[in-house]
Amino acid sequence: MKKVLRFAVMMLLVFGFAAVTVTAFAQGEAVKAQVASVTGELTAVDAVTSSLTIKVADDKDATKSSSLVVTVAPTAKIAKGETVETIADLKAGNKLTVTYTVNEAGNKIADSITVNG
């Protein structure tokens, strides 16, 4: 009887440890940052919050578009050709390509901005 009880306790410990390990691994996967890139027209610049609103065309329907808001990281590189720009140089109507990271909170943080026109 003691052997059966000992075996049952060991199994509970093994499966309990395995469940904790799988849960921790799954959470670690969910925390990894996602990197994306988008091209669109700048519709608004908020210098106070360092955010940009970009109008992005729908890939499937040219008559539709959506807005994407990104926060410009303090270390973001902003370029127009060979010229280095700042957020103050960006104007509504500029065509931009923005590479951003989605953080754990779901915020889109721009790491690189290229002014296309």
Do 18 and 54 share a domain, yes or no? no
Structural domain tally of the chain?
2
SS3 category, 25: helix
**Contact (Cβ atoms closer than 8 angstroms) between residue 83 and residue 113:** no
Q: Are residues 71 and 26 in the same domain?
A: no
Question: Which domain covers residue 4, as residue numbers?
Answer: 1-32
CA 42 centroid distance within chain:
19
* Predicted TM-score (pTM) of this structure: 0.68
Q: Residues 51, 61: one domain? A: yes
Claim to verify: residue 69 and residue 24 sit in the same structural domain: no
pLDDT at 9 over 50: no
Q: What is the CATH number of the domain that holds 108?
A: 2.40.50.320
pLDDT tens profile 52-90: 999 998 877 777 889 999 999 999 999 999 999 999 999
Same domain, 28 and 46: no
Examine the domain organization and report whether 47 and 99 are in the same domain: yes
**What was the pLDDT predicted at 31?**
52
Mean pLDDT of the chain: 80
The whole-angstrom separation of Cα 12 and Cα 73 is: 47
Q: 79 and 99 in one domain?
A: yes
Do 67 and 111 reside in the same domain of the chain? yes
Question: How far is the C-alpha of 68 from the C-alpha of 42, rounded, in Å?
Answer: 10
Please tell me whether residues 61 and 94 are part of one structural domain: yes
Is 12 in the same domain as 57?
no
Structure tokens at 93: 């109507």
